[in-house]
Amino acid sequence: MNHEINVQSESVQDYSDLNEEAQELIKAAIEAREFAYVPYSNFKVGSAIRVADGSIIGGCNIENSAYSPTICAERTAACKAISTGNNEFKAVAVIGLQEKSFTTPCGVCRQFLSEFAKEDIPVYVTKPEPERVLVTSLSRLLPHSFNLN
């Protein structure tokens, strides 16, 4: 069983080979996906973020008929975390259901998450029935994030 994720690499792994913490994070994202409000696209996405104290905070996508106020699952989870004082992210899971590919965070979410990742963090991407998991990292998804520091 893989107990450490090398955030500098990217691979597709069997869910059963991931460590317990990664599996727990993925399960939380799957559960969060069930609450998605998607009357326009019917495309449910769930996300979960592990924060510095080890707790997990989930979120789902929430659509709006005006489209631009729609919020992605990753930013929902991030805003929930930040609004409770948890502003250091340690890992992220994203669950979507695209037939032929993994649903990775959009560019806005990648940038948003990078604001609260003090170091490179693992990102686990899979489907609602997690058999295969894309294991990547935030810096691989967004190699040159915008940063004022």
Report the candidate in 119, 108, 124, 149 with the shortest Cα–Cα distance to residue 49.
124
- CA Rg value for the chain: 14
Amino acid at 121: I
Amino acid at 138: L
Residues identified as active-site: 74
Long-range CB contacts for residues 80-83, cutoff 8 Å, separation at least 24: 81/49, 81/51, 81/57, 81/116, 82/116
Inter-CA distances, 15 with 8, 55, 133, Å: 19, 21, 6
Q: Report the distance separating Cα 47 and Cα 67, nearest Å.
A: 20
